[in-house]
Structure 1
Amino acid sequence: MGKFTRVFRSFLLSYIVILIIPNIALFVSYRTSISVTEKASIENSVTQLAKTKELLERRMAEVEGFTRQLAINPDLSVLMNERNTGDQTNVYGIWKMLRSILTFGQTNDFLQQFYIYLGNYDVILTPGSAYFRPEHYYENFRYADQTFTDWKQSVLGQTHRSEIMPLRPFLNKGAETAVVTYMQSFPLDAFNSSSPALVVIMIDEKTIASLLAGITDRYGGWTQITDAQGRTIASQGEGIPDLAKLEEDGRYDPAKVSQFHEGDLVITTVSDTNGWVYRAGIPRKVLLADANHVKRMTWTGNGIALAVGLLVCLGLAYRNSAPIHRLISAFGAAGKEPGRNEYDFLHGNIAEMLHNSNRLESELRRQQPLIRDAFLKRLLSGELPSREEIVAAATQANTGIYGNSGYVCILQIQGYSGKGTVEILNELNAARLILKQSLTDLAGFTLMTDWGADRIVILFASRETETGAAVGRDEIASLLDQLSRHAFEEYRITFTAAVGERFEAETGVSASYEQAKQALEYALHSDRKSVVWHEETRLESATYYYPLELEQRLLGTIRAGETEEALRIVETVVTTNTVQRELSVEMWHQLVGELKGTLLKLIDQKTFLESGSFESLKDRIIAVQPADKRTLQREIEQIVAAMCAVVEGRKNASHSRIVEQIKAYVGENYGDAELTLYRIAEQVERPEKYISQLFKEATGSNLSDYLETVRMDQAVKLLVEGRYTVDEISARVGYNSSHSFRRAFKRVTGVSPSSYREAAGR
């Protein structure tokens, strides 16, 4: 190191001081963190048990909520209140009840195994199954310590109000387990010795224990839940103490939330909801493992950090002092050259770097028009099909089209027939420069590019002006007129301008350019030197316009019976090939043949084969002749309208059959209180929304109103007969309650059923 050792020592001493200061603070914080870690471990354990208690209480509350949902279930209410006549069982009602309870177990694992017992039918319903004999259910699911008679008497034959049976051994299809049982009778206010219905929910001990696994998996030890009477609800882990001996031990205080007892931290919490006691025992060595781990890691990490820090200090001191050494040495070496030192050297190099940077920036500015020109050529050629690609390329070129709609214009310079000589090419180059500069002076910045020796392509994009209006067709025509007069008066330059159709998005620029080329061909063909718009062109075409997608649309609209849309497509085809194109006789005959072929494809389908107009339509299509173009369009349109009328007629006939089916089904089943729009749609095999709208269009009334009218008509007949009471009539015409029937009858007829019967003389 020689004479530079002092610099190295200064750096090294500074780094060592910086290294020692945080280590002192680390030791102080270490002592604090140990005590905090021990306290936090205990608090975390208490919090974990409290969270487990809250989670289990929420699950049990969901179980109770499930029973309350069943209590208000209309299907269950109907089954509970029905009288079992012995040979008649409400199979449909039981099936609906099975469907309604099928999905409850998917949202709460406490509801994986439950059953509903209906006393009047002596049937047990489980998710997915119905046992019409309780002994069949008992064969598969039963308590291991209870006979069938005891089970039927103590569980099915008693009234239970939110009753919880503690942990008992249970056989689930032969598999041994243990369950906690929750029982609730229906209705909820039932006080009789037996109730119409009962729900029994069996919660597997493993399911409850899984909620306690968070403590045992993390700390080991044990967890236990007991009810208010000290009966075990669930337990998890090893080394569970005898609760009786634990409470008799004078060193154990049941009122404390956490306390150390015989090497374990015992945590106790009591539920305010149901009086359940939650206990957890965590070994002391496991509980304080984090604190001990912190001790070991702190001392180990601190020692390693000091050793590594010293090595880093040596390295940093050398690295930071070495440039200074080299700089001083360089200064000494350069000082031998007269008039030049290290700073002159650095200044010269920095100045050269700045000069090169300025040259690069100037080159980029010079290349910018070329990049913009390349972007515009790609855009016009259609090489950028998506808007994302256009935006990306515009960003790269540092430009854009300054609006998403506008026109593409092509300027064709006139008066230069031979372009093979250098003189002509130079004149054309000068003419292009003059026109572009003149256009810039007149319109400001405008995207334009050279396209060949004698053409300029201009992109007039719509953009907001100070008045809020977009650049439009009139402004472009005026601008091109000014440019034409200026170029001729000042430079004797003439040109022909061709403008394509307006594009509405950046992706339509290439299409507008192609249209401008077509307009330019038309202008050159007709020797026009003014502004020519694409819609003014009428070029003779070697082919006709009838693409496959247009044919498919025509076929689809006729199949759907959409007359207006089908006629519009026919008009588009004929107009395009007569107004915008000039077809040869052969091409015109070919087009007519294609149209006839399209219609003949449809005529062979079932819809037309089964109709009485098949032969006449076929003859009309074959008889179409490509004579007069207007006559052809009229004949094709008449045939298309006739075909659509056939389709519409068959649709109407089908609709009439469906409406009659609906009326017949309603007439046979109006007395069913469960008759809904869904069941009617199921019967006629159509969607609910479809038949509702169809019935409304065909009859002028809603389907629900029609059902109510049928029921009221039958009710009037029964009231006049006088054989049944009002309550019996309401049930016979499909009402669940006589109150709903009376209210509907008065709304329809204006009087109550009793008043109507009296007025009828009964």
Structure 2
Amino acid sequence: MSYLTSISVTQSISIENGITQLEKGQEILERRMAEVEGFTRQLAVSQELNVLMNERDNETNVYGIWRAMENVLTFGQTNDFLQNYYIYLANYDLILTPGSSYRPNHYYTDFHYTDLSLEEWMKEVLDQTHRSEIKPLSSYVSRGQQTSVITYMQSLPLDSFNNSSPAVAVVVIDEKMIVGLLSSLTDRYGGWVHISDAQGNTIALKGSGVSEMAKMTSDPGFDQSKVSQFYENDLVITTRSDTNGWVYQAGIPRDLLLENANKIKKMSMLITGGTLLIGLVVGLILAYRHSAPINRLLSVMKEQFGRDEGASRNEFDFLSGNIADMITKNKLLESELNRQLPLVRDAFLKRLISGEFKSRDEIHSAAEQADIRLHQGTGYAGIVQINGYGSMDNVEVLNELNASRLLLKQALSDVGVDILMTDWGSDKVATLFFSTEEEAGSDQTVEDITQTMENLAQVMFNEYRITIQSGFGNYFTSVTEVSHSFDQANQALEYAIYTNQRGVMWNSETQIENTTYYYPLDSEQRLITTIRAGELEEAKRIVESIMIQNMEQRELSMEMKHQLIGEMKGTFIKLLDQKAFTEYDAIENVKRRVIEIGSAEPLESVKSDLYEIMEELCGLIANKKKDIHSQIIKQIKEYTAEMYSDTELTLYRVAEQVERPEKYISQLFKEYTGVNFSDHLIKVRMDQAIILLKNSNYTVDEIATRVGYNSSHSFRRAFKRLNGISPSVYRQSDYE
């Protein structure tokens, strides 16, 4: 009875375990294949790749190819199925891989199917339109190495329906990677696994041959609809994918399956014919044997959670306590994922305001994901600025701004109006007022928003002494127009700051003053600060923005144009009179060039002159920074060479000596020398140690002390790590 029961139990447990492992491998494989399909979809929306596919130039766009491959190089880092892929561009007749690019015939030389000639490969793979097609298991040669692979093929773009497409993405997946997902079955039982597609073509096979699989499949005695059955000497487990129709089969040898049952049979015979003493011994052995997994689990958990905790409690309490702790942490993780929802909403609003969405459907789908109601998709976009923070150049100011923004958003939430908001820069909050069908576009809505913002400004000032200013764009009639309305709100805010007007500024109110030039104080201050920092590209962007506002969005009179040019010249004169530039000999020549800019010149010509002047000024700043940094590095090296024997010499001491922050000199030293300061200090000490080893009679311990080590053991270890041998061996050798 014991033997028969053990056979039944062992068989059912083995079948259950086999099915579980097979289904787990199936799930992982399908997820990996889904990632492969997702990878091709990412390629389909790659702007760089789309540009390459649509180019018809005879010349190869080398930079474009480099950029396209640079953007997809990281795709294979999280999925080993994407280690070997290529993209064929038909217009270039070029194959792109993560490491290089090839002509098809050159690629075929290193990578090819043994059953396909070059012409057949090009016809079946490169010149055909594929829609998530999978080429079954085929013999393959990769740089002279023989293997077997399956091939995933997808034409680009995804809507290609002709016989040929602009590009084809091909992922070559090694059979070893696929069967590796099911290695627990073959390694544990020594059996076999077989994966075939819906047409019966082999996808992966390990532990058996194709002919044996074909024989089993065609055998009338083998029922492929059964999940488990015995066939010849194997227990065959079969599952079928609902996703792609693939068939997963695993075979477990019968003798290994019943190995434990045979042991139980022998044990039963010994117990029946033995004495009570033998029975007790066997009972103890079995007790130890069956408690081993629990003991191993206990050992692992003690290693992970610490042995001291378990010392005061029994093993059951220790296990139950830590398992409960893991469940609690899992719930905390789930809670943390729910806390990420505000980040998703914030990202959606930033994309909506920036105009990154391509269609209304995409916007509504993203809004649903972020759990945001868009009502009728109509309303007003606005921006609220916290006043008094024109120069944000230190941590204290930024921290204060963060607190102010939180207070502002909390006050906005408390006004009782359905409003969406997100941070926009350090001192601004972007807002969206969506209107209902009854309120759409009415004057009352504008009045309500104005009244709400005025109440908000009063609350912020009365309770927190924070002053705010806000601008609003025109009414948007669709969610696709939100970004345009927000740009108008930004212009309204800039106009309010420029004209020093308080309260709420609507974009429609700024249009009556279109004859004045645009050159707000904050733009001037940012331009001066940017040039002083040597940031040429940012300075050019600021000047370009000012020119666009005055050349494209305004019609300036000649007098206003002269005043604008005079204001900008004045900005540069003020900048050149600052101490940061007066010490340069060439600054008078630069000042003369600024003065010589004529008020009657076209604004485009003025912009070009200012660009040249900014390039020269930023170049002076960059050279000055370089000289200062070189001097600091020199000071650090000199001080290290002087104080290397001091055991208390640290980066903090060096920072005190050169009067710079510790983190600053650490980054600076690494940037300019290519090594960390700690490595440089060790090198200096080891160089001095070598001199003492060669030219003195000091012992190794004395030398360790003289070069700044408290412990001779630490000195020996550092010396051997740097020089490959110990100090004693070095002294006795002929090393120089």
Query: Normalization by structure 1: what TM-score?
Result: 0.37
Query: Normalization by structure 2: what TM-score?
Result: 0.38
Rg larger for: 1
